[in-house]
Amino acid sequence: MADYPPFMNAYGLAVKILSKIKDAKTPQRFTQDFLAETLGFSSGSAKPFIPLAKRLGLLASDGTPTELYNRFRNPDHSKAAMADAIRTAYADLYNRNENAHSLDKKGLEGIVVQATGLDAGQGQREL
């Protein structure tokens, strides 16, 4: 089975959650309760954020915020921290094209197809 790149169906929520993370106190563990009660995202569509954050390297496997999480919260280092997180989470795509972040939709779809073995459009998600 292919190791698919991380994703959230409700990807717009990821941006909103990340914004709230910058303002909230760093938890000892980032849990569904923290996501719902502290950050205000209790819907089922927000639940995939925690596995995504783990793949991004923002959270350790037990939900503990990492140094990268702390760097992301610092406005002076936020963009660089997210760039590091994306390169970590999507390492397979970056191994195939070091400029994956600059590709257009067709180019990105091509390396996703190559990385996953799926046919173009199979299980298609918005890229």
List Cβ neighbours of 19 (8 Å cut-off, separation of 6 or more): none
75 confidence band (pLDDT: 50, 70, 90): very high
Do 98 and 70 sit in the same domain of this protein? no
Number of domains in the chain: 2
List Cβ neighbours of 123 (8 Å cut-off, separation of 6 or more): none
Do 84 and 99 sit in the same domain of this protein? no
Supply the pLDDT for residue 121. 64
The neighbouring-strand residues paired with 59 are 65
- Asked if residue 5 is part of any domain, the answer here is no
Do 70 and 111 sit in the same domain of this protein? no
Using the predicted structure, report yes or no on whether residue 12 has a pLDDT greater than 90: no
Residue range of the domain that includes 114: 94-127
Using the predicted structure, report yes or no on whether residue 76 has a pLDDT greater than 50: yes
Do 84 and 39 sit in the same domain of this protein? yes
CA distance 40 to 68: 22
6 confidence band (pLDDT: 50, 70, 90): low
- Asked if residue 6 is part of any domain, the answer here is no
Burial 12-23 (b: 16+ CB within 10 A, else e): ebbeebbeebee
Mean pLDDT of the chain: 88
3 confidence band (pLDDT: 50, 70, 90): low
Supply the pLDDT for residue 21. 97
Do 35 and 84 sit in the same domain of this protein? yes
